[in-house]
Amino acid sequence: MFYFILLNYSFMLLLAIEFTAANIKVAAKLEVILSWS
């Protein structure tokens, strides 16, 4: 049971990291677009 909770937690953490990385990429692209216009 404890192992399952740990696995779930690490999966959620991985998703959060992926989501944050995607947001950073989008923000960087927007910044580039805004600086060009």
State the Cα–Cα distance between residues 15 and 9, nearest whole angstrom. Answer: 10
State the pLDDT at residue 2.
85
pTM confidence score: 0.62
pLDDT in tens, 1-37: 788 999 999 999 999 999 999 999 999 999 999 998 7
Q: What was the pLDDT predicted at 23?
A: 96
pLDDT of residue 16: 97
How many separate domains does the chain show?
Answer: 1
Q: Which residue segment(s) compose the domain that 26 sits in?
A: 1-37
Integer Cα distance of 26 and 20 in angstroms? 10
